[in-house]
Structure 1
């Protein structure tokens, strides 16, 4: 049992149970340690079932009984068929606890079972404890801080809450297959701050990392889905597909920029403009300067007009004491020129509006003219048909005969053409069917190859993930191997295992030898008993014949019968003595098991718990009376 207990303790340590180094057997487990071990195993087996179970016993006796009942129910839900109740945890019995722990360890998932065979390391234990704590917290429903009761203080964290504020992060990415530049390496090593120092507030670190990770995952998933749906069909390599997609995107952007930079006639006439957002963006890039300051190409008339009718404003305000007639005339001429300029501008605007109106009217008239021309052409065709019909009416019989002859000739010609077409049609249909079968066969082959490519791609993804996991496991095992003490060699463990196997073989050989000796002894006893019965029957018969004649022989016959009876009684006494010795050994084993089950100590604990429950009941009753 010592080896079994060591294996159980090792497996319990792997799932996060805090078992001290001094504990070497299940007999030394306390009630608190049993409860913790069972809860840890249940949480690994079924996180939803074990998330609500506490890992320690509460101080109150009624709460302890409830915890014991909930643990027993959880073990039964998992599939434990043995007898179990609150007494199994509160008043522990070594055989029951050993069988329960063996069942739970066997029920652990395969990964946990494989991990239990691996050497133990502090990092692995810490990672499993963190994963178990996160799993337990995720299984408990979250409540707002204002809705939490004192009873939620153990399951809900009382820490301060922060808003989910995300800030962009700069990470040192290295694309596979490409060697980074020396400048980039220097920047990442000397200038780029760590991720925890990039956000302006420390509370935004976790939110920013989660957002960055989510964006990278979504981008990778989108690329995988796009490649599986469109990239494989294009029959290109991933780099070629990316480059072609990039060139297409650049062309579209260039076309949009060109169309937005050149004013369209609809925009000039006040109509809707395509790509309005991009045009507004380009207008914003140009600046908000007025239209008068934009450099545009004008005609000679506009330049002469601008040069002629430009008002010259004085650069400095010089006070004049007296204005001459020439100054007055100059000012009047300037005012006259400005009025003429305003009048010319208004006339130009009016003419421009009239031209636009006339242009629209001209376009409408052209459309109406085209429609009328189309109607006239149709009417002319109808008129020509009617005219020819009227010309044929005077000689209708001859025309009908000619028409019938033409119809018959056209019918014969159609039949002749149909016969010729059938001659050409049959080989064409056969060729079409053959080509269609070839196309369908090629489509089927291409679809099969595409499905094979997709399956191979999925297998590659799965193999890549497995390789990553195995590489991480290898690194973890290497670190654990480095942290392990070097004095413990593998040969010592191997020698110990071989010794255990040899001891088991010796025990099996001794048991087989004892069983064979017992069988031989039983055969010898049976043969001696049969021989004795046969000898006694022959002796009895001979002596009985002589006893009828001789008195001394009669006494010998009586002594022989008494001797046989005494010997039978002696044999029965020996058998009864052996039975009593076996019963004594059974009783001694039962006494040892009862002593191992700590019946007296459990009875004392039950009495103390009973007194504690009575005190709690009396205290509750007093509170009820006071209330």
Structure 2
């Protein structure tokens, strides 16, 4: 259409140049309208893409904040478990010290009673007291240590399993964020994996602590049995020595009376 108009424009007389100029201007405006419409459409598409990108970035930031909160919670739980393990170790050492002190007191009482004149009666008392002390010590260990430690270890194991499950869940969620696109997300993923590994190591340490506790109870039982055997043997020896002394004293008295 534009070419036809130009052809007619060349053929028109000079006096119609003004009209031709107006028509040419109108044609140019008609050509520019589609271009302006196309530019507006591209601008809208660009704006929509930017808004979509911004929304996606905000979503990833929100997910990263959630992961950071979970990591903080895991750190707090890890500190609580470490404190509980330290308390368990301290209680075990305290019970061992109490047992050693009790054994030392029993040994001193045994030596003191062996020197008294009424050795037979005192030996029987010492035997009864030793049996009673051993029984009370065993009950104290079973009641205040064994059950309590087993319950604490079980609670710690349950908490560690819960922490491990949470770590695995957050790890799966974190993988979906495509850690390669965001350096901060990659650091959070590495830290979460490290917490998961430390949780497994801590769970293993708790299990080993349970094994050590059982071994300590077995050793304490063996010590109690050996102590009982030694006390019985010493009492029998003291009784025999005492009877021999009585016989020797009786013989000396008889010799003195004969003189």
TM-score grouping bracket, smaller chain normalisation: 0.3 to 0.5
- TM value normalised by structure 1: 0.15
Q: Which has the higher contact order (CA 8 A, sep 6+)?
A: 2
- Which protein shows a greater Rg? 1
